[in-house]
Structure 1
Amino acid sequence: MRDHTAGNLLTDHPALYEARFPDPDRLAGHWAENRLHHHGAGPRVLDMGCGTGRDAAHLHRAGRTVTGADLSEAMLGHARVHHRGPVYLRADLHGFDLGRAAFDAVVCLDSSLLYCHTNDQLDGFLASCRHALAPGGLLVAEMRNGAHLLGRQDLLDGPRADAFTWRGVTYRSATRLSVDREAQLLRRVRVWTTDDGTPPVEQHSAWRLLFPQELRHFLAAHGFEVLELHDGPGPRTEPRWRDGDPVGRTADGDRLHLVARLRITP
């Protein structure tokens, strides 16, 4: 998750983020590269919401010319040192203008798109993608599926406890999720404690509950044609992909995998 909420323990400390969410196989980056290759995308890629830069660097190693963009200076600084290759820029996914750059694809992984909490913010993101993409360019994204929460009260029961140890310190979290129906958001409150005497830290964040048909509507309004839209576990969880292709829908449907092409207008 690339949570841009101010004062976030993990995103303010990118090395701690990577320790909490290890990704040695670069699963999301591998999936994104497979879809780019499958649909014949050119080499110029913008990774919007790049976080620590792991997926951007993976795409770079696959031979692409990558620009990674994020709002967090801490994440960008970490990426420039530890995941070299891409160019890293500060940009807000709610609306960005990278000048004359024309990309063959915009990649937006790990639910980054869902930090567009309002319709205006989502419109701003898609309009910015349209401006940044060359004609026929791709938008490749994976995110939580809002429809997954329909009837799943068990996901909202909690809190859920978790823990990990890094550099001799154990970090424990208690996480509670709730649905803000009016705002159409999944809200999260997470309390961190450690065994080194640091005072507890309470953090608040949220994701847009975006539904598949709603997503299709927004994409069409901004000139995109949906090439793929699948529900199923994400590339960082249970594998449901064979040679990069979906092997069927799941009853869970906790993720949306999207590939859309910007229409070429005469």
Structure 2
Amino acid sequence: MTYASERETTRGNLLIDSPELYEARFPDHQRLAGRWAEDVLRRYGAGPRVLDIGCGTGRDAAYLHGAGRTVAGSDLSTAMLEYARAHHPGPEYRHADLRGFDLGTFDAVVCLDSALLYCHTDDELDGFLGSCRAGLAPGGLLVAEMRNGAFFLGRTELLDAPTVNTFSHHGTCYRSTTTLYLDRAAQLLRRTRVWTADDGSPPVEQRSAWRLLFPQELRHRLTAHGFTVLGLYDRPGPRTEPPWREGDDAATTVDADRLHLVARLTR
């Protein structure tokens, strides 16, 4: 699940341009994110038509399709969509920008892995929520999973030092060095990531950013667009520690790094 923002400033985006590497770097063999989304949809009685917006490589859209739903997956990255059609068939994959889209009528919109946070401005966020409102059937659900802006109030552990990760794929070792910093004026969490590989290729630097949304702010905007928030909590989810498991109940807190949203269109 990734969303390639045309507003990112990059000198190449290794994982988005090479979806096979994305799945190698972020494996999800148990389809945890898709299972979590399906569990939420089932619990809240969502109908069968689902849009996975920012679907990335298509793993979660394909899981929802396999669960018996009629699924459309959309992304801004052509490379991701081509990979999804070839490796995770079943859903209908379509090119779209989550900041403004018209893809038909659905019973639920699913937006995972912080894709919603590529809406960097209030107008872009309104564009996303307005598109969801227009594309959802009455009583339809919006399910989202993202970083939690409230986590960064007074906390610096993710900002104090670069994070280094390595993984191997087809005999090549890849190394990423990621630095996060706060742009408080723009309310963005900015990221610089430098990739190196032991195959002699030059380093690749990419820069991106996520909007830092706070729980009360998100509730307000959802209400303004006709949604009723049914659930807004920090854990458990597909990227929490410990991760979500079938049967887990949602917490009542909104303090940790991840934020999970369930909202129903009521007007």
CA distance in structure 2 between the partners assigned to 1:170 and 1:188 by the alignment? 22
SS of aligned partner of 1:126: helix
**Cα distance, 1:156 vs structure 2:** 0.5
State the partner residue of 1:48: 53
Q: Deviations over 1:175-221 (max 9, x none)?
A: 11000000000000011111111111111000000000000011001
CA distance in structure 2 between the partners assigned to 1:233 and 1:179 by the alignment? 25
Matched AA of 1:69: S
Where do 1:5-44 residues align within 5 Å? 5=8, 7-44=12-49
State the partner residue of 1:198: 201
Where do 1:225-236 residues align within 5 Å? 225-232=228-235, 234-236=237-239
State the partner residue of 2:91: 86
Residue 119 (str. 1) matches residue 122 (str. 2):
yes
Where do 1:182-261 residues align within 5 Å? 182-232=185-235, 234-239=237-242, 241-248=244-251, 253-261=256-264
Determine if contact 2:240/2:258 at 8 Å carries over to the other structure: no
Q: Work out which of the residue numbers 71, 75, 78 in structure 1 matches 2:76.
A: 71
For residues 250 and 162 of structure 1, do their structure 2 counterparts lie closer, same or farther at Cα, with a shift above 3 Å needed? farther
CA RMSD of aligned residues (A): 1.5
CA distance in structure 2 between the partners assigned to 1:32 and 1:173 by the alignment? 29
SS of aligned partner of 1:153: coil
**Cα distance, 1:255 vs structure 2:** 0.8
CA distance in structure 2 between the partners assigned to 1:93 and 1:180 by the alignment? 23
State the partner residue of 1:142: 145
**Cα distance, 1:249 vs structure 2:** 5.0
Determine if contact 1:65/1:86 at 8 Å carries over to the other structure: yes
Determine if contact 1:68/1:87 at 8 Å carries over to the other structure: yes
* Identity level (%): 71
Give the TM-score, by structure 1 length: 0.94
Give the TM-score, by structure 2 length: 0.94
Determine if contact 1:227/1:261 at 8 Å carries over to the other structure: yes
Q: Deviations over 1:47-80 (max 9, x none)?
A: 0000000000000000000000000000000000
Q: Deviations over 1:146-181 (max 9, x none)?
A: 011111122111111111111110101111100000
Q: Deviations over 1:83-117 (max 9, x none)?
A: 0000000000000012xx21000000111100101
**Cα distance, 1:248 vs structure 2:** 3.1
Gaps of at least 5 residues in structure 2 are: none
SS of aligned partner of 1:258: strand
CA distance in structure 2 between the partners assigned to 1:123 and 1:90 by the alignment? 20
**Cα distance, 1:45 vs structure 2:** 0.2
SS of aligned partner of 1:229: strand
CA distance in structure 2 between the partners assigned to 1:249 and 1:77 by the alignment? 39
Matched AA of 1:15: E
SS of aligned partner of 2:194: strand
CA distance in structure 2 between the partners assigned to 1:250 and 1:122 by the alignment? 24
**Cα distance, 1:240 vs structure 2:** 5.2
Where do 1:164-183 residues align within 5 Å? 164-183=167-186
Aligned length: 262
SS of aligned partner of 1:137: strand
Extract structure 1 runs of 4+ deviating beyond 6 A.
none
Determine if contact 1:241/1:247 at 8 Å carries over to the other structure: no
